[in-house]
Structure 1
Amino acid sequence: MKMHMLSGGRLRMSKRTYLPDAARGEMIDLPVSCVLLRHTQGNVLFDTGCHPDVASDPEGRLGTLAKYMQPIMPADDHVLTSLKAVGLGPDDIDVVICSHLHTDHCGCNAFFTKATVFVHALEIEAANADNAFDRGYIKADWDHPLKTEIFDKQMDVFGDGKLTLIPLPGHSKGTTGALVKLDRSGEYLLASDSLSVRANLDQRISPRNSLDVDQFLKSLDEIARLEASGVKIICGHDDAQWAGLQKGPHAYL
C-alpha cells in the first residue's frame, strides 16, 4: 500500500482556539490535510477537505462560519487538483473515509460519486441535529445520494490489518482516525481533528472547539499510547508538521 499526502485547502483561525495561552488576536494557519491510500483492493481517500467554492466564495459556501475559519488558499488548492497531480480523478476513488462531517473534512464528498463513503453513525446523528450548522456541519457538504457504509466501532476496512478505523471522539461525537500499516515506512495514525495540532498532545490540552473535553482527553491518551508503541502521528492541521511531509506524487511506502 502507498500513502500520499494531499492538500485539501488552507484556513486561518484564532490561535486561542487551540492554545489558550496565545495572545488575543493572534492567528494560526491550518493546512487541511487529505490522504490517498492506494491499496490492492482499491483507492481510498481519507477526508475530502474544503469545497472549491470555499476559496472563491467563502461566505456563499460557509455562511457565518467564514468569519471564524478564514480561507487563505488559492482557488486551485483543493483535493481534486491534488488528486490530479498523482494521476487520478474522482472516479478513481473507491472508498472515501470521513473522519467526521465538519465542512473542512468532507467538502468535496459530492464529487466522488463512484465511491463508498464510510462515516461513523454518531456523525450522521450530529450532522442532522437542529444545531448542526453552529457545530460546523453544512448539508451541502455531506448530504448526497452516495453509497454509504455506517460504522460505530473499530473497523478493519479491507480485512488485512492495513487500514483500521479507530473512533477517537471528543472533537465531535464520531471523530475517527485511521491506523495505516505500510510495508516499509511502518505505522501511521491519521488523527484528523482528534489531534489538529501537535501542541495539544505535547501539553495535553483540549482545544476550545472540542465538543466533549473528557472524551477528547481520553482520545488524546489513546493517541499517546499509540505513539509510544511506535506509531507515527499525522495531525489534522499542524502547519509545522505539514511543511515537513512528503506530498503529492511523493508517496510513503
Structure 2
Amino acid sequence: MNAMTTNLLAGAILMMSGAAANAADVELWRLDCGEIAVGDLALFSDTYNYSGEKRTLTDSCYLIRHDKDYMLWDAGLPAALIGAKVDKSAALAPTLAEDLPTQLARIGIKPAQISRLGISHNHFDHVGQASTFPGATLMIGAADLAQFKADPLPFAVDPGFIKPWLDGSSKVDPISGDRDVFGDGSVVILATPGHTPGETSLLVKLAKTGPVLLSGDVAHFEEQFANHGVPSFNHDRADTLASMERLTGIAKSLDAILIVQHDAADIAKLPAFPKSAN
C-alpha cells in the first residue's frame, strides 16, 4: 500500500468516524390513539376477501425524538371519543382510552415541545387530535392537504381537525415526493399514494433496533401485502398496489421492521409504552 492510498484510507476512516460521532440520537415510541371496531370488514377489500367478517383495528401514533427535536407521526382519533361506547351494529365504531397529551406527560413531554406533526393522510382517525399541537409545523402530502378544501369533501375528511393550519395561524409544509425531515437520512417521509392521493409512510432509522417503516394506511392488515387487498374506498387501486410493492421492497433492502399501523398484531413489534425503541 503506497503513501497516497494510506492517506486516502486514513481520511475516509476519519470521515466515517466523524459522521458516526455526529449522528443524531433517534428514539421512537408507539402511542395508543384508539381502536375502531369494524362491523363489516368487506369494506377493506374490493375483491370480497373479508365478506361477513369483523375485526378491530388499532389506531397507532408515534413519537420520534431526534436529538432535542420531537416529531409526532399521526394524531389519532378525536379526544371527543374518549370512553365512547362501541356500537356493535355500526360499520365503523371508533373509541379512545386517553388522549395524546396524557400519554406524552408520562414521559415528560409537553405538546409545545412537538416541533413537527407528520400526518400519513387526511382521514379523521389520523388527524383527530392535530389541533392539540398548533405550535408544530404540519407536514402532510400536498394532494391530501388540497382535499381539505374540496367540495364535496372526500370520505373521512374533516377540515375542522386542522383548522389552525388552514386558517394560517400555524405553519404547514405540504409534501410532494419523499422528504428527509431532519436532513440526515434518519427520518424520511415516503410518498406512498393510493389510499389517498397524498398518502405517506415514514422511515425511521434507529441505531440499535435498525430501520423501522411505519406504513400509514398503505395496508390495514399484514396479509394485505400478500393478497393485494385494496379497500373499496381507496383513491387509486394501481397506486395502492405500487405503494405496497415499494414498502415491501424497502423493508427487504434495508432489513427494516415493517409496521402496519392499524394491525393490532404489529403493536408488539415495538416496546410497550412508555418504553421506547432506539
- State the SS of the aligned residue for 1:16: helix
Q: What 5-or-longer segments of structure 1 have no aligned partner?
A: 59-65
Using the TM superposition, give the Cα deviation of residue 40 of structure 1 relative to its aligned residue in structure 2, in angstroms: 1.3
Rounded to whole Å, the distance in 2 between the matches of 1:234 and 1:241 is 6
- State the SS of the aligned residue for 1:195: coil
Rounded to whole Å, the distance in 1 between the matches of 2:251 and 2:178 is 18
Aligned equivalent of 1:188: 212
Q: Determine which of 165, 173, 178 is the counterpart of 2:202.
A: 178
Using the TM superposition, give the Cα deviation of residue 216 of structure 1 relative to its aligned residue in structure 2, in angstroms: 0.2
- State the SS of the aligned residue for 1:220: helix
- State the SS of the aligned residue for 2:250: helix
Q: Figure out how many residues of one structure are paired with residues of the other and give that number.
A: 243
Runs of 4+ in 1 over 3 A off after TM superposition: 55-58
Using the TM superposition, give the Cα deviation of residue 18 of structure 1 relative to its aligned residue in structure 2, in angstroms: 2.5
Contact 2:43–2:231 (8 Å) recurs in 1: yes
Aligned equivalent of 1:62: none
Alignment of 1:74-223 (within 5 A): 74=97, 76=98, 78-132=99-153, 134-144=154-164, 145-223=169-247
Assess, with a 3 A threshold, how the Cα gap between structure 1 residues 225 and 183 changes in structure 2: closer, same or farther: same
- State the SS of the aligned residue for 2:218: helix
Q: Which has the larger radius of gyration?
A: 2
1:51 aligns with 2:78: yes
- State the SS of the aligned residue for 1:36: strand
Alignment of 1:11-50 (within 5 A): 11-13=36-38, 14-19=40-45, 20-24=48-52, 26-50=53-77
Using the TM superposition, give the Cα deviation of residue 244 of structure 1 relative to its aligned residue in structure 2, in angstroms: 5.1
Using the TM superposition, give the Cα deviation of residue 245 of structure 1 relative to its aligned residue in structure 2, in angstroms: 3.5
Rounded to whole Å, the distance in 2 between the matches of 1:68 and 1:146 is 34
Rounded to whole Å, the distance in 1 between the matches of 2:90 and 2:230 is 22
Task: Report the TM-score when normalising by structure 1.
Answer: 0.89
What fraction of aligned residue pairs are identical, expressed as a percent?
26
Assess, with a 3 A threshold, how the Cα gap between structure 1 residues 131 and 27 changes in structure 2: closer, same or farther: farther
The Cα RMSD (Å) is 2.0
Cα deviation 1:26-77 (Å, max 9, x = unaligned): 321111110000101510000010111023579xxxxxxx944212333x2x
More relative contact order, 1 or 2 (CA 8 Å, 6+ apart): 1
> Structure 2: which amino acid aligns with 1:47?
D
Assess, with a 3 A threshold, how the Cα gap between structure 1 residues 131 and 28 changes in structure 2: closer, same or farther: farther
> Structure 1: which amino acid aligns with 2:273?
G
> Structure 1: which amino acid aligns with 2:44?
Y
Assess, with a 3 A threshold, how the Cα gap between structure 1 residues 15 and 245 changes in structure 2: closer, same or farther: farther
Using the TM superposition, give the Cα deviation of residue 110 of structure 1 relative to its aligned residue in structure 2, in angstroms: 0.7
> Structure 2: which amino acid aligns with 1:46?
W
- State the SS of the aligned residue for 1:143: helix
Rounded to whole Å, the distance in 1 between the matches of 2:30 and 2:58 is 11
Aligned equivalent of 1:252: 277
Aligned equivalent of 1:2: 27
Rounded to whole Å, the distance in 1 between the matches of 2:113 and 2:246 is 33
Rounded to whole Å, the distance in 1 between the matches of 2:41 and 2:273 is 28
Rounded to whole Å, the distance in 1 between the matches of 2:28 and 2:84 is 31
Rounded to whole Å, the distance in 2 between the matches of 1:208 and 1:201 is 16
Q: What 5-or-longer segments of structure 2 have no aligned partner?
A: 1-25
Contact 1:18–1:200 (8 Å) recurs in 2: no
- State the SS of the aligned residue for 1:94: strand
